[in-house]
Amino acid sequence: MTIRILLVDDHSLFRSGIRLLLQRHPEFEVVGEAVDGLDAVKRARQLRPDVVLMDLNMPGLSGLEAMQLIVEDLPETAVLMLSVSEEAEDLSIALQNGARGYLLKNIETDTLVQSIKRAAAGEPVISEAMTAKLVMQFRAATHPQGSAVTREKLTQRERETMACVARGESNKEIARSLEVAESTVKIHVQNILKKLNLSSRVQIAVYAVEHGLDKTA
């Protein structure tokens, strides 16, 4: 299935480079480009892409503002922020306002390719370098209770699932790793969210890293 992508960046050279990289992969189709936030909103409404790769800082309407409008109008479109900013505040605001993920522009090509695929499949994606910053941002929100209490709350299978989520694996990949049905993985994820009073897979990953539960026992 082809993943239709809209590129948004005010630097034409950068857009050209990303387009050339993505065109090497037959599963991707770059359906359009936009030079700023306002242009991005217009093009997204016209093209209805599966994924928007959006620069954060652009003149006029910012990437963040454009992302909010696109997510509101096209909730099925995944917006990935692609930025040079490593500020925790930028990361937090982007995720809180609907971004499917946050990537740094210095990531490897293979990482970008896999991130786009995961975003298109509904998975959150965050550059590895930003994980520690995300942990700090969500520390207050998650109200950690300690790994010992967590181990008592969760079953062995749920802890294994949690570790897989923390490694960024999709439900299909977790099912393959644990040799269970994908529907079973979904149940485990829902149980984890309920037991730990969390609201997303991102928070599961943060909680796991913070409590040393990101490694399979």
CA separation for the pair 202, 192 (Å, rounded): 12
Residue 71 CA neighbour count, 13 Å, CB half: 20
Only one residue has tokens 């210095």, namely 106
Give the model's pLDDT for residue 85: 86
Q: How confident is the model at residue 27 (pLDDT cuts 50, 70, 90)?
A: very high
Choosing among 3.40.50.150, 1.20.1260.10, 1.10.10.10, 3.20.20.10, the CATH entry for 143-210 is 1.10.10.10
CATH superfamily of 3-128: Response regulator (3.40.50.2300)
Sequence spans of domains, the chain: 3-128, 143-210
Alpha carbon distances (Å) from 2 to 55, 121, 130, 170, 181: 23, 12, 29, 19, 26
Give the model's pLDDT for residue 150: 58
Residues 134-159 have pLDDT tens digits of 666 565 454 544 555 556 788 889 99
